[in-house]
Amino acid sequence: MSPDRGSKAGEETALNSASTPLLAARSVVGGVLMGLANLVPGISGGTMLLAAGVYPAFISGIAELTTLRFRTRSIIVVGTIAASAALAILLLAGLMKSLVVEQRWVMYSLFIGLTLGGVPLVWRLARPATPAVWCGAAVAFACMLLMQLGGDGTSSHERSYSLLVLSGLAGASAMILPGVSGGYLLLLLGQYENILGAIDQLKEALLGGTGLEMGLLMEALEVVVPVGVGVVIGVVGVSNAIKWLLEHYAKPTLGALLGLLFGAVVGLWPFQQPVAPQLGEVLKGQVVTVANAETFDREDWKLQRFSPKTGQAGTSLGLIAIGLVGTLAIARLGADDDSPVND
């Protein structure tokens, strides 16, 4: 038997030997961690599932359910992880949005460390490096730079349903990939604050429980529903496509993941701050005037880079180190479950 077949057989044996209650408990932990990961740019949902030790079961469960094989274990694992992640996102989206808007350089410093922590994980999967790995990394890194040059660093609140569907699809795809952050992809698409704000608004409307909240509910659903459609498409379609790529073209695909990680770090330059809009400036498709200047939220202001003070630079480096160590520590817990990506 080949090493790959032996590895796969070992994974199946481990999955089948684990008791269902234990697997369900680990799935709850993994789901909560994955939900938090998708709120935080820089953390990978796939990495969190690896840390909880349920990544193989999750990937296997998705593959079975999307091919209409409804095993009880698969339903429990995928359903528990999805429900736990959704609950974490619903309850904490508002807090994460506020922290990013109000403490951007602090949060971005932490995100850089969290992102860099995914590099050793993906590198361990990709080694030994081949020309295909380096080519995949170079192409992905170049694509990330081009995407960043195409944005202005502000959050988009346009009701573009196609963009919202794309955002959901990108976020769902990143759940499957260790080392790739769904939250960062939302930042890159200019939809991070918009989507998190809508989720928090949905929570407030549901908790309100009165007819007065119906307007808030409908406004939130205009964002949440298209994003949800994208998430379903991403989980059902893109996750299986990526799994196929990792199985058949592992080296260039893993190289591309490395390129995405380093490209993400470039886009998370921490020392930038929102600047109050000036008269005559165009924001959200409107010209800023004396009459409407106060109507623009801080999250809509354009970002401007600034030179950090010595204390800020030192704090930033410390936060980067904390994020790096944190991701490495979590990934270390699930080190024994890395092999499924290389099937």
Q: Quick one: tokens of 274?
A: 């929102």
Rounded to the nearest 5°, which phi and psi values hold at 302? -75, 150
CB 98 within 8 A of CB 275: no
Question: What gap in Å lies between CA 200 and CA 215, rounded to an integer?
Answer: 14
CB atoms within 10 A of CB 3: 7
Q: How many CA atoms lie within 13 A of 121 on its CB side?
A: 36
Q: What is the per-residue pLDDT for 135? A: 93
Q: What is the per-residue pLDDT for 288? A: 79
Report pTM: 0.63
Q: Quick one: tokens of 36?
A: 């938090």
Q: What is the per-residue pLDDT for 13? A: 44
Question: What gap in Å lies between CA 332 and CA 259, rounded to an integer?
Answer: 22
Query: What does 17-59 look like in DSSP terms, one character per residue?
Result: HS-HHHHHHHHHHHHHHHHHHHHSTT--HHHHHHHHT-HHHHH
Question: What gap in Å lies between CA 249 and CA 278, rounded to an integer?
Answer: 50
Question: What gap in Å lies between CA 68 and CA 217, rounded to an integer?
Answer: 33
Q: Which residue matches tokens 């296997």?
A: 60
Q: What is the per-residue pLDDT for 222? A: 77
Q: Which helix (H) or strand (E) holds 320?
A: helix 310-333
Q: Is 304 helix (H, G, I), strand (E, B) or coil?
A: strand
Radius of gyration of the chain (CA): 21
Helices 3-17 and 55-65 pack at an angle, to 10 degrees, of 90
pLDDT averaged over 10-residue windows placed end to end, the chain, 343 residues: 45 50 81 80 71 76 82 88 87 78 83 80 83 92 73 50 79 69 72 76 70 68 82 76 79 86 78 80 72 72 84 92 81 51 41
Task: Give tens-digit pLDDT for 155-177.
Answer: 444 456 777 888 888 777 766 76
Question: What gap in Å lies between CA 99 and CA 102, rounded to an integer?
Answer: 5
CB 151 within 8 A of CB 187: no
Question: What gap in Å lies between CA 96 and CA 188, rounded to an integer?
Answer: 16
- Domains in the chain: boundaries: 3-93+102-271+307-332
Q: Do you find a cis peptide bond into 128, omega within 30 degrees of 0? A: yes
Residues sharing a CB contact under 8 Å with residue 85, sequence separation 6 or more, in sequence order: 31, 32, 34, 35, 38, 45, 175
CB 26 within 8 A of CB 73: no
CB 178 within 8 A of CB 44: yes
Q: Quick one: tokens of 54?
A: 């349920």
User: Does residue 99 come out as left (phi exceeding 0), alpha (psi in the -120 to 50 range) or beta?
Assistant: alpha
Question: What gap in Å lies between CA 259 and CA 119, rounded to an integer?
Answer: 10
User: pLDDT exceeding 90 applies to what percent of the chain?
Assistant: 7
